[in-house]
């Protein structure tokens, strides 16, 4: 967004963790666990109805993620000037979406497994998430080998769901303390040893590795635990029961609920659809050319003004330089950090034709 989402994502998940409540009119405490024989059915662990409002919240988040990824794609193909992967507003938006998804992961675990872990259901969902995460890694490695997603939102959801299981019935003080510590840790300790892709998923890097989406364990495990803690409190106070009775009937709400229930599928297919539309459009419309020229002028004028201080002369010089680059097709030459003899000679033509403008000696040639 990932680019560094963005969460990226990006950029970029939280998809499809079941949100469920007790089937009766009362909500049993999250810590309750009935003792039965290993072979007998467990009615207290049976699947329970979904909560519409939570599905709708996940649907709203998945909608926001589609918006973010659309903006990222438009930026990548240069249809828009802003760099979504680094723009502060877009980065904050992506992190907000990641936070919502991971908070709901914690809530989902309590509602689905708080009275006792339904291992078969859990590992079925876990396997789906791991498979989807691997699919994302493989696909992005093929398309973006230098910045593929090695630990994005789906990887994080799978691992953090597993790590959170011991805290579904732990003392609330322990859960809160670990949540705060998890969020604070990357702000208190970082080391260059975590800069590699093999360790960056932990979240303690000094310099983030290049990737299109990275959702590390720290600080995001803390957000999952906050979801666990908040949902346990909602169950204990009866707020969850009141929340479950709220069922708006409007088409917008129903649409968000539907999106929330199919969020994993939507996550997997929406980017191929967007790229399938924008890639051929970029080949036809060539938006990169206009942006490339605008960025050249901006960079040239800023550099010139810093040394010459004459904005008018710099504008004339940079306009002449751009015209020379376009006419002689020198884009490749100016993009090379260490130009060879051929590129140096090509760049010399820019200096020869345009440098006199900085002294006011040469006027632009008439068309």
Could you read off the pLDDT of 93-124 as tens digits, one per residue?
999 999 999 999 999 999 889 888 999 999 99
Count of domains in the chain? 2
- Would residue 367 count as lying in a domain? no
pTM for the whole structure: 0.71
Which residue is associated with the tokens 């006011």? 360
Taking the CB of residue 347, how many other CB atoms lie within 10 A of it? 18
Domain end (from 285, 313, 348): 285
CB 256 within 8 A of CB 55: yes
Query: Does one domain contain both 270 and 297?
Result: no
Residue-by-residue DSSP string for 120-171: HHHHHHHHHHHHHHHHHHHHHHHH-TTS--SB-HHHHHHHHHHHHGGGSSS-
According to the model, what pLDDT value does residue 180 have?
98
Query: Does one domain contain both 133 and 262?
Result: yes
- Would residue 178 count as lying in a domain? yes
Instruction: Give the phi and the psi of residue 5 in degrees, each rounded to 5.
Output: 140, -75
Q: Among candidates 9, 35, 30, which has minimal Cα distance to 133?
A: 9
Q: Which domain does 48 fall in, by range?
A: 43-285
Query: Does one domain contain both 278 and 303?
Result: no
Domain end (from 242, 258, 285): 285
Query: Does one domain contain both 71 and 211?
Result: yes
Query: Does one domain contain both 280 and 291?
Result: no
Domain end (from 236, 256, 285): 285
Query: Does one domain contain both 119 and 225?
Result: yes
Cα dihedral across residues 313, 314, 318, 319: positive or negative = negative
282 vs 176, which has greater pLDDT? 176
What pLDDT digit, counting tens, does each position of 316-325 carry? 888 888 888 8
What pLDDT digit, counting tens, does each position of 295-345 carry? 888 888 888 888 777 788 888 888 888 888 888 777 767 766 566 677 677
């Amino acid at each position: 967004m990932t680019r560094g989402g963005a969460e990226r994502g990006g950029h970029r998940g939280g998809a499809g963790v079941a949100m469920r409540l007790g089937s009766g009119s009362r909500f049993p405490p999250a810590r309750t666990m009935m003792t039965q024989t290993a072979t007998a059915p467990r009615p207290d662990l049976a699947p329970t109805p979904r909560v519409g409002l939570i599905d709708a919240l996940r649907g709203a988040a998945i909608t926001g993620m589609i918006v973010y990824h659309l903006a990222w794609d438009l930026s990548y193909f240069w249809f828009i000037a802003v760099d979504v992967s680094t723009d502060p507003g877009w980065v904050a938006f992506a992190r907000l979406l990641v936070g919502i998804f991971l908070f709901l992961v914690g809530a989902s675990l309590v509602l689905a497994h708080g009275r006792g872990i339904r291992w078969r259901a859990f590992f079925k969902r876990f396997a789906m998430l791991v498979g989807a995460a691997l699919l994302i890694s493989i696909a992005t490695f093929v398309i973006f080998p230098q910045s593929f997603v090695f630990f994005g939102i789906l990887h994080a959801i799978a691992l953090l769901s597993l790590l959170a299981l011991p805290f579904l019935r732990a003392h609330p003080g322990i859960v809160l303390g670990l949540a705060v510590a998890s969020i604070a840790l990357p702000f208190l300790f970082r080391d260059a040893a975590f800069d590699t892709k093999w360790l960056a998923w932990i979240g303690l890097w000094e310099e983030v590795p290049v990737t299109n989406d990275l959702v590390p364990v720290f600080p995001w495990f803390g957000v999952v635990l906050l979801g666990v803690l908040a949902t346990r409190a909602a169950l204990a106070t009866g707020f969850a029961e009141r929340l479950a009775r709220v069922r708006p009937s409007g088409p917008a709400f129903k649409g968000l609920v539907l999106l929330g229930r199919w969020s994993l599928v939507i996550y997997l297919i929406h980017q191929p659809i967007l790229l399938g539309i924008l890639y051929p459009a970029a080949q036809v419309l060539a938006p990169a050319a206009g942006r490339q020229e605008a960025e050249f002028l901006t960079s040239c004028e800023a550099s010139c003004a810093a040394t010459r201080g004459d904005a008018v002369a710099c504008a004339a010089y940079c306009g002449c330089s751009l015209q020379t680059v376009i006419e002689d097709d020198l884009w490749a030459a100016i993009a090379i950090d260490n130009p060879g003899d051929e590129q140096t000679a090509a760049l010399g033509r820019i200096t020869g034709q345009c440098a006199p403008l900085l002294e006011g000696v040469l006027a632009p040639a008439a068309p």
